[in-house]
Amino acid sequence: MTGKIKILLAEDDLQIIDMYRSKFEMEGFDVQFAEDGEQAIEILTKWKPDIALLDIMMPKVNGLDVLKFIKEKEGYEDVLTVMLTNLGNESTAEEIYKLGATEYIVKADMTPLEVSDKVKELIKYYDDKKKK
């Protein structure tokens, strides 16, 4: 992946957005933020991220519907999608993967630094995979 890594973070908790904003900007990522699913979809109609971090429980449109939007949008097949949730159960994970998410993260289990590292890891893994 050349140039700045573009990230969309859709999250309705402003405190979490602030934590991730600092970390991602320090890492040199190009980041767009959405406070609800509707805003995320609006951003996605004009801007294609390399990776989308989507909170599942958001007002207006939930993260699973944003995930479906990305998966159905032409030209967005290679956008990596990471679902952020505090729902760490098996049926949630099953549904997330069935909808085509790349990964899911239980927010309470990871710090912003760990999430940032996970983002870099995913991008590197999928970049390497594409080259083969």
- Domain 6-131, second-level architecture: 3-Layer(aba) Sandwich (3.40)
Rounded to two decimals, the pTM is 0.89
- What is the residue extent of each domain of the chain? 6-131
Q: pLDDT > 70: what percent of the chain?
A: 93
Residue 102: CB atoms within 10 A of its CB come to: 17
Distances (CA, A) of 102 to 46, 71, 84, 122: 22, 11, 12, 9
With vertex at residue 93, the alpha carbon angle to CA 21 and CA 97, rounded to the nearest 5 degrees, is 90
Supply the pLDDT for residue 32: 95
**φ and ψ at residue 83, rounded to 5 degrees:** -90, 130
At 2, is the pLDDT very low, low, confident or very high (cuts 50, 70, 90)?
low
Which tens digits make up the pLDDT trace of 16-72? 888 888 888 888 899 999 999 999 999 999 999 999 999 998 989 999 999 999 999
